[in-house]
Amino acid sequence: MASSGVVTPSLAGARSSRTARLAWAAGALALVRCGGGAPLLHPAHVLPVNTVSFGAGLSGQFASDGITSAINRGRSAAGEPLSNGSSARSYSDGVLTQALVAPGIGPYVAARVGLPEETEAGLTYTGRSIRLDGRYAHALGESLALSLGLGATALLLSPDSSSPGPGAEAASGANPQAELDLNAKGWGLDAPVLFGYEGMGGMFELWAGARVGLEQIDGELRSNASDAGAPRIDAAGRRWWAGAVTGFSVGVPPLWLRFEVATTFHKLSGELSGGGGEAPFAFGQLDATGWTLSPSGAIVGKF
Q: What secondary structure does DSSP assign to 226-259, as a single string?
A: T-TTSPEEEEEEEEEEEEEEEEEEEEETTEEEEE
Distance, in Å, from the CA atom of 66 to the CA atom of 75, rounded to the nearest integer, reads 14
Number of H helices, E strands in the chain: 3, 10
Distance, in Å, from the CA atom of 164 to the CA atom of 155, rounded to the nearest integer, reads 17
Higher pLDDT, 263 or 274: 263
Report pLDDT for 277: 65
Residue 46 has pLDDT above 70, yes or no: yes
Find the range with the poorest average confidence among 28-32, 132-136, 153-157. 28-32
Residue 16 phi/psi, 5-degree rounding, is -65, -45
Residue 239 has pLDDT above 80, yes or no: yes
Distance, in Å, from the CA atom of 164 to the CA atom of 262, rounded to the nearest integer, reads 20
Residue 161 has pLDDT above 70, yes or no: no
Q: How confident is the model over 1-38, as pLDDT tens digits?
A: 434 443 333 434 444 444 344 333 333 333 444 567 89
Mean pLDDT of 191-196: 98
Q: How confident is the model over 281-297, as pLDDT tens digits?
A: 889 999 999 999 999 99
To the nearest 10 degrees (0 to 180), the angle between helices 85-101 and 65-77 is 130
